[in-house]
């Protein structure tokens, strides 16, 4: 058996607390913490353990968003490898939301949403 990853256990708990244990896509109870920049594309440590890259989701939404990568990228639920997750708003239950590395989150301004859409 591999050693438990204590850093992951801790950051996962912080992400779930920040999101009130609520799936940020459908509003149901969250069971998973999703990496917006997927682990499969080799995120750095800052993305693996960074709160800006992590959102709480339920299992069903987690699977759905990874099976629909085109719309997930458009909604900021997936983030390209070259982007900085902290600057990419995600569309969820609270509208367009920016997740910060310090564990806070806030509504994105219209200017921030537009700036990001021009990059797509
Ligand atoms: Zn959900």
Report the separation in Å between the CA atom of 31 and the middle of ligand 1, taken as the mean of its atom positions: 9
- Residue numbers of the domain that contains 24: 6-119
Q: Are 113 and 76 a contacting pair, CB within 8 Å?
A: no
Report the separation in Å between the CA atom of 98 and the middle of ligand 1, taken as the mean of its atom positions: 18
1 within some domain: no
Report the separation in Å between the CA atom of 1 and the middle of ligand 1, taken as the mean of its atom positions: 30
Report the separation in Å between the CA atom of 49 and the middle of ligand 1, taken as the mean of its atom positions: 21
34 within some domain: yes
85 within some domain: yes
Q: Are 15 and 33 a contacting pair, CB within 8 Å?
A: yes
Rounded CA-CA distance 14/116 in Å is 26
110 within some domain: yes
Rounded CA-CA distance 6/107 in Å is 30
- pTM, entire model: 0.90
39 within some domain: yes
- With bands split at pLDDT 50, 70 and 90, how would you rate the model's confidence at 21? very high
Residue 86, judged by CB atoms within 10 A of its CB (0-12, 13-18, 19+), counts as middle
**pLDDT, tens only, 76-85:** 999 988 889 9
Domain count within the chain: 1
């Amino acid at each position: 058996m591999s050693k438990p990853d204590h850093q992951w256990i801790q950051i996962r708990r912080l992400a779930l607390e920040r999101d009130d244990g609520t799936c940020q896509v459908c509003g149901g109870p969250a069971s998973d913490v999703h990496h917006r920049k997927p682990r499969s594309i080799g995120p750095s440590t800052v993305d693996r353990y960074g709160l800006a890259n992590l959102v709480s989701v339920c299992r069903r939404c987690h699977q759905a968003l990874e099976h629909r990568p085109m719309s997930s990228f458009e909604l900021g639920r997936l983030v390209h490898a070259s982007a900085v997750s902290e600057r990419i708003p995600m569309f969820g239950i609270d509208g367009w939301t920016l997740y910060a590395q310090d564990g806070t989150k806030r509504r994105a301004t219209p200017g921030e949403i537009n700036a990001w859409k021009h990059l797509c």
